[in-house]
Structure 1
Amino acid sequence: MSGSFQIRGGKKLHGEITPQGAKNEALQILCAVLLTDEEVRVKNIPDIHDVNRLIEILQDFGVKITKNGHGDYTFQADAVNFDYVKSQDFKQDGAKLRGSVMLLGPMLARYGEAYMPTPGGDKIGRRRLDTHFQGLVELGADFHYDEKESFYTLKAKELHGKFILLEEASVTGTANIVMAAVLAKGKTRVYNAACEPYLQQLCKMLNRMGADISGIGSNLLTIEGVAHLHGTEHTMLPDMVEIGSWIGLAAMTKSEITIKNVNWKELGVIPNTFKKLGIDLEKRGDDIFIPAQENYKIQKFIDGSILTVSDAPWPGFTPDLLSIILVVATQAKGTVLVHQKMFESRLFFVDKLIDMGAQIILCDPHRATVVGLNHEYPLRGTTMVSPDIRAGNALLIAALSAEGTSVIHNIEQIDRGYENIDGRLKAIGADIERI
């Protein structure tokens, strides 16, 4: 639903906030329910647009879906309707959601055929699908692309395991190939596999369903094909992008915030990267406690050179949090170079921050130097439009710290990725209204 947020910034927040289930994990896990005719129960599913769209697509596809409670669903794919996947409706539905591309692997593995319209999603430069198709073709699928219809078709009488070296460590590409390989004949090895916690979660879930995957968490996955999989239960990890966002929010608004149930062992370098910006945070059980801080000082490298924060495939720093780092750096003491390596045109929202008074030099489409204002000059409220999910959240944090009133338009971009974000922020004292 389209609309805008009106935010009166500059207020200190206080209290506890619980991260939602991980969006990027949910998209993989929901596609995997097609791999068995038995019931799969999934918990901690975030109630957000992208995930709900995928649930609707599964429903149209004939998967039986029971809602057990908030974010808790049971799926059973024992009588799917293949006519839907060839229909005009699916060409429209599937195209609106990038995550639907991960239906290809499970469809192909279980039914011997798969169809997919060219997907949409975020405008963050080119995200090629070559990795997905390369892997599925190597397992034995025939691939056809109809340019007029923008429609992909894959068919395979039988999939056979083999050694696959991926061109790039694509998370969704790895997920697709793994989901196809679990039911293939023989052994598949995937090298340069993505090793994100969400992908590890998918592999662990598939193993509970009877798959035989080893090397989980490394970049070489070995999959011994099995004849069929059975049902299981699965709970999503908390969303690490939300967790990083709330750390940044606390620092920007000088607030004391506790982030609940963060699953510390799956956070990788995220806590330390924020510590490098001078933000105090403590591990309290499985929570993160951030005390109210008047200032935070960016650390330099040991030789005194300027700190650089850049993204990298896991276990490196996730690209989804670079926009948050950039915003938080605007009020730090010191200078940082933010280097966005993995995607194009994700830094173009900095002009909005410059309008708000931030000192940022956009060096090129991939690098921005941020000179921190050390809270001496708060950002000024302004009117802005959210370009993609992650920048939307970063602009929201900027607005909450700014002096005066801000309006953010195009907030469906934020709703695509964050569940009831205004309600949860209000609960810790934010002045935010949906208009």
Structure 2
Amino acid sequence: MIPDVPNSDSEPGPFTENTDTTASSLIDLQSTSREVHLKIEGGRRLHGEVALKASKNAAVALLCASLLNHGITRFLNFPRIEEVTRMIEVLESIGVKTNWRDNNTLELHRPKKLNLQNLDEDAARKTRSVLMLIGSLMHDHEEFEIPYAGGCKLGERTVKPHQYALEEFGVNIIATDKQYTIKVDRKAPGEMTLYESGNTVTNNTILAAARTAEGTFIQAASCDYMVQDLCYFLQKLGVEIEGIGTPLLHIRGLSRIKKNVEYAPTEDPIEAMFFISAAVTTDSEIVIKRVPFRWISLELMKLKKMGLRYTLSSSYKAYNGHVDLADLTIHQHEGKLCALPDKLHPNIWPGLNPDSLPYFVPIAGVATGKTLIHDWIYERRAIYYGELSKLGIKVELLDQHRVYVQGPSELVKANLSCPPALRPASLLLVGMLAASGMSVLRNIYVINRGYEDLAARLNMLGASVEIFS
């Protein structure tokens, strides 16, 4: 049964745990606005072990979800990355109190009334995640505005799926000059089907259902990792959710939520793919700890069929008690990888993750044979893969969605600027790690959107990466 929620508007009491704020006094490079660049002395084999950080995509959804809670929300092991920083700036601008504590613990406390007129438009326009504010804010506000969403430049990314989903809850989204005007006449949809099984639109719909007391049945929901993390968090708040990890979700929400809660988002499977790609491209053996291996099981299967050897430890639970983790050892392939006979293409989970697909480009570049990579979801991302040709990888652009990669290639040093998209930018870093000589990668803000302390962690694996500005 759904527990009763107190109606009192009194301020919730503090947690009883240690509230040492030492961590908040540390220098935070993420908060600086200057351009940051990398020098990479490549051609080195990596070695040792690295532990994964929590997921970017789950983190931004959880930040939006914290607005549903009138109690104190505490996120453990939270990623300190640019995307999170931008969303925190947005939340602080409307009145949310935030505090970083030890061990990347983030505490949030929303006020009784949010001041949406003060919303930080500059921060909001740097992230597409701001769209998920609609699903949270619709419960307490009949009319409000948010700026157009930003994030990676990957072609046309319509908001129509969000509009079609949220109108089932009585939300009307009107596009005006540089912003969306949202008007709310709340209703319960009962049963609904999503126009598109996207991660962000699924999360927005879940947030709308989380404070809709009548049951909502959602068909064609994304089953991906960030959606599952959001559902597990909402369950801790008392929201009843059935069907997590399936395209059919049954949600019975709460009209009001006020609870002091702690939650730890799961480690990032896409960060695991970055380190896998770096290890394979440099022909290295490393151990990647705390891998949510079931979320990249197809990726690992594809790599196995290419000839990659890897081993998984016994599984254990993530800090949230739900997701199975294991330590993954990537072994040297010694140049024995072969291209797959069929194309590589993404799909919704349990298919090959759209954000995992780019990391196969440098891998295909060191494998023998020709690989067809079909990135059908985004109009422009495949075009950025051509930048790897400047590092010596033979990439042939067929159209805006498809490339051929011919291997094996001998990688060469280069001086490049990051493209305006996270995964393609990080591919250049992977290639530079494998290319002999000194390479320079300029303006890495887009990489810092998704990865925390990446240079330091690569250096712990034996790389030579220097930050400069």
Match of 1:339 among 350, 356, 374: 374
Match of 1:272 among 297, 301, 326: 301
Match of 2:387 among 352, 361, 366: 352
Counterpart Cα distance in 2 of 1:34 and 1:320: 27
Match of 1:414 among 441, 447, 457: 447
Structure 2 match to 1:384: 416
| Aligned residue runs from structure 1 range 6-405, under 5 A | 6-82=39-115, 85-87=116-118, 90-146=120-176, 148=177, 150-231=178-259, 232-285=261-314, 286-298=326-338, 300=340, 306-373=341-408, 377-387=409-419, 388-405=421-438
Counterpart Cα distance in 1 of 2:339 and 2:411: 22
In the TM superposition, what is the alpha-carbon distance from 1:41 to its structure 2 partner? 1.2
Counterpart Cα distance in 2 of 1:428 and 1:13: 5
Helix, strand or coil at the partner of 1:126:
coil
TM-score, length basis structure 2: 0.86
Counterpart Cα distance in 2 of 1:299 and 1:354: 18
Q: Is the 8 A contact 2:89 2:120 kept in 1?
A: no
Helix, strand or coil at the partner of 1:319:
coil
Counterpart Cα distance in 1 of 2:452 and 2:253: 37
Letter in 1 for 2:156: R
User: What is the RMSD of the two structures over their aligned residues, measured on CA atoms?
Assistant: 1.7
Q: Deviations over 1:235-281 (max 9, x none)?
A: 11111111011111111112110001113233342222222332211
In the TM superposition, what is the alpha-carbon distance from 1:424 to its structure 2 partner? 0.6
Q: Deviations over 1:78-131 (max 9, x none)?
A: 33432xx224x5333322221111111111023344421101111111111111
**Range moving further from structure 2, 55-64 or 117-126:** 55-64
TM-score, length basis structure 1: 0.93
Counterpart Cα distance in 2 of 1:64 and 1:345: 38
Q: Deviations over 1:293-340 (max 9, x none)?
A: 31232264xxxxx23110111111111122210111101122211110
**Range moving further from structure 2, 123-132 or 352-361:** 352-361
In the TM superposition, what is the alpha-carbon distance from 1:64 to its structure 2 partner? 2.2
Counterpart Cα distance in 1 of 2:461 and 2:122: 39
Aligned length: 422
Q: Is the 8 A contact 2:94 2:117 kept in 1?
A: no
Letter in 1 for 2:137: M
Letter in 1 for 2:332: A
Helix, strand or coil at the partner of 2:446:
helix
Q: Deviations over 1:105-164 (max 9, x none)?
A: 111023344421101111111111111122111111233332x3x221223243323322
In the TM superposition, what is the alpha-carbon distance from 1:185 to its structure 2 partner? 4.3
In the TM superposition, what is the alpha-carbon distance from 1:187 to its structure 2 partner? 2.3
Helix, strand or coil at the partner of 1:137:
helix
Counterpart Cα distance in 1 of 2:137 and 2:87: 14
In the TM superposition, what is the alpha-carbon distance from 1:412 to its structure 2 partner? 1.0
Letter in 1 for 2:117: K
Q: Is the 8 A contact 2:307 2:333 kept in 1?
A: no
Q: Is the 8 A contact 1:182 1:223 kept in 2?
A: yes
Q: Is the 8 A contact 1:110 1:183 kept in 2?
A: no
Q: Is the 8 A contact 1:104 1:115 kept in 2?
A: no
Counterpart Cα distance in 2 of 1:200 and 1:325: 25
Identity of aligned residues (%): 31
Counterpart Cα distance in 2 of 1:234 and 1:113: 30
Q: Deviations over 1:21-40 (max 9, x none)?
A: 10000010111011011111
Q: Is the 8 A contact 2:282 2:434 kept in 1?
A: yes
**Any unmatched runs of 5+ in structure 2?**
1-33, 315-325
Helix, strand or coil at the partner of 1:364:
coil
Residue 459 of structure 2 is aligned to residue 431 of structure 1: no
Helix, strand or coil at the partner of 2:276:
helix
**Range moving further from structure 2, 21-30 or 137-146:** 137-146
Letter in 2 for 1:239: D
Helix, strand or coil at the partner of 1:282:
strand
Q: Is the 8 A contact 1:104 1:114 kept in 2?
A: no
Q: Is the 8 A contact 2:165 2:195 kept in 1?
A: no
Counterpart Cα distance in 2 of 1:60 and 1:90: 6
Helix, strand or coil at the partner of 2:266:
coil
Helix, strand or coil at the partner of 2:363:
helix
Q: Is the 8 A contact 1:278 1:299 kept in 2?
A: no
**Any unmatched runs of 5+ in structure 1?**
301-305
Q: Is the 8 A contact 1:297 1:334 kept in 2?
A: no
Q: Is the 8 A contact 2:268 2:292 kept in 1?
A: no
Letter in 2 for 1:398: G
